[in-house]
Chain A
Amino acid sequence: MSAADRKPAAKAAGMVLAVAPDATPSGAAWAETLPNPVRPAFDRPSTEDGVIVNIGPSHPATHGTLQIIAELNGERVVRTDVHCGYLHRGFEKECEAHTWHNLMPFVDRLNYCSGLLNEFAYCDAVETLMDIELTPRTRVLRTLLGEYSRIADHMTCIAASVMEMGAMTAFLYLMTIRDYIYEHLADLTGARVTYTYSRIGGLANDLPKGWIQRLEEILDEYEVYIGRIHGLLDRNRIFIDRTRNVGVLTPEEAVHWGFTGPILRSTGVPRDLRKDTPYLAYADLDFDVPVGIKGDNYDRYFVRMREMDESVHMIRQLIDLLPEGPLNVDDRRCSFPKKELVYSEIESLINHFKLVIDGPQVPAGEVYRAHEAANGELGFFLVSDGTGTPYKVHVRAPSFVHMGGLHRMLDGYQLADIISSFGTVNMIGGECDR
């Protein structure tokens, strides 16, 4: 494949779909060529009995739009060509057209299963550039909500991946608990899935009355439901047969292909940014980093289950550690003044106006800050030219890097293993394609 060998869309080797005039009652009356948006790496099987199949991008069992062109020999996968990018929504270009505050909803929708983790990582990067120190209450609260979001993400991953292997009951149990979490976060932030709750220098609003009490109730219910999942799956012969020794990664391979997060930990490498380079309130917490033994699908499932338990343990400690105090840092470069002051004092009015229209003025420079998101190292590389709009916002998305190494987990296994391996990798389209 030579570089930059692009063919125009209409002439690319593609599927021709001709609809005869007046054939359908809905009135579609044109013959149309639908171009193929990708160019496969191979179009001929390498062996006599090989056959090439296309999986995706609209496929029920691939959670997220991803296309895998696989060459099969019988049921064995010989080689795969992974195509992502079907959800490329132009995140970076959009960010350059909004102020540092206004682009918070875009950041949210990166890893949409755990929106708060993305927001906190982004705000951390901006706060590093602006040299802002968070208030103690915000530090603890961000850690707590980050872990809460991580639980929701791992639940979604496990639920979707085991559903594809047939465990519908486990899916419904996990969806029920996840719904409680969503409603609970909606009480706090106003939205169930995409929150836009974090602000540069703090958070949008404080906890409502009774929130912590409901949190403890949900954590107790979580234990009940997760106990059921363990009972259904852990020692289930069918589940073990489908996931043990499938999609195996060695530790060296995992690091070479850039895997981080639960996938790297499932191979036995105990790397976790929360432990190695602690940020927010993680240095004050007592938690373990679960690692797997073989790096196969079963280990990835189990590492996620154990990580959820560790998150619950962390949340319980954080509830005790939560101090009283203000949420937003008292820095008029980024924090909005109180509304009473905006309407009575001219300085606060101008401050509010400048923050909304121009955005917070971030000093010129570059910063790369990474947090341990649910899928691995989520890094934000920000370039500021001193104004209120970013010059560049680049996301180092763990899912995207994992897609580069996905073929190592798929080649050599069977066709049905593609589904289970892909499920445990937890590719989130918003994060992968940005």
Chain B
Amino acid sequence: MTMDPSQAGAGKSGAFEYITTKKDELIGWGRKFSIFPYPFVTACCAMEFMSVSSTIYDTDRFGAALPRFTPRQSDLLMVVGTVTHKQAPILRKVYEQMCEPKWVMAFGVCASSGGFYQNYATLQGIDKIIPVDVYIPGCPPRPETVIDGIMQLQDKIAGARHPIITQTF
């Protein structure tokens, strides 16, 4: 009889689930306050990205200020601005060079859906080529919107489950 490994603790006192839940919360808390963004900056949203990283709005209080300028050392890919078809292979390559766990933030409407550029040159949303975790609308979004997006991403990171035994382990 095959038993699902995640049900291993079923029927016991629940101490196992308590420990794994607390472990998940600890990992989530640690990860959400130490985000290393890779700012994949292309267009006008860069202005708001610079503003949100600076003194008045400050992403540093979320632990997300320190950009790592290589995808191999970062975990949050912030796609800031329009991605064109010429740029698409570059974006895909950068995404694949990042290690797990990684999250993707589509910053601005051009990254989310192509914006109001609906023509031969513009990729209609980066989710056509990479999976996206949080979409931040705005053209460009106000810094408060960006911070709201980061906080929602933090909720998502904090709420992720980390089973000990998985399909791929």
Residues in A lying within 8 Å of B, measured CB to CB: 15, 17, 19, 22, 24-26, 28, 32, 34-37, 57-61, 63-65, 85-90, 93-94, 105-106, 109, 112-113, 156, 159-160, 171-172, 175-176, 178-179, 182, 192-194, 429-430
Main secondary structure of the interface of A (DSSP, over half): loop
Closest residue on chain A to residue B57 by CB atoms: A179
Report whether A60 and B86 are in contact in the complex, using a CB–CB cutoff of 8 Å: no
Contact B54 A176 (CB under 8 A): yes
Question: Judging by beta carbons under 8 Å apart, are A17 and B96 in contact?
Answer: yes
Q: How far is the CB of A223 from chain B (nearest CB, A)?
A: 19
Does B166 have its Cβ within 8 Å of any Cβ on chain A?
Answer: yes
CA distance A19 to B81 in the complex (A): 27
- Among B14-22, B28-36, B112-120, the one that faces the other chain is B112-120
Q: Give, as a whole number of angstroms, the nearest-CB distance from A304 to chain B.
A: 17
CA A131 to CA B39, docked complex, whole Å: 46
User: How many residue pairs between the two chains, A and B, have CB atoms under 8 Å in the bound complex?
Assistant: 116
Contacts of B51 in A (CB 8 A): 175, 178-179, 182, 192
Chain A residues lying within 8 Å of B56, measured Cβ to Cβ, are: 175-176, 179
State whether A156 touches B50 (Cβ < 8 A). yes
Shortest Cβ distance from residue A126 to the other chain B in the assembled complex, whole angstroms: 20
Q: Is the interface of B mostly helix, strand, loop or mixed?
A: loop
Q: Footprint of A on B, CB under 8 Å?
A: 39-44, 46-48, 50-51, 54-56, 67, 69, 81-82, 84, 86-87, 89-94, 96, 100, 116-122, 131, 139-140, 142, 166, 168
On whether the beta carbons of B89 and A34 are closer than 8 Å, the reply is yes
Q: Cβ of B116: which chain A residues have Cβ within 8 Å of it?
A: 105-106
CA of A247 to CA of B158, assembled, Å: 48
User: A25, A60, A429: which contacts B100 (Cβ < 8 A)?
Assistant: A25
CA A61 to CA B41, docked complex, whole Å:
10
Asked if A87 and B100 sit within 8 Å, CB to CB, the answer is no
The 8 closest A-B pairs by CB, nearest first: A112-B44, A175-B54, A90-B119, A60-B69, A90-B121, A34-B89, A37-B86, A86-B87
Q: Is the CB of A58 within 8 A of B90?
A: yes
When distances are taken between beta carbons in the complex, the residues of chain B under 8 Å from A34 are 89, 92-93
Q: Is the CB of B43 within 8 A of A429?
A: yes
Find out whether the CB atom of B43 lies under 8 angstroms from the CB atom of A112.
yes
Closest to B116 in A: A105
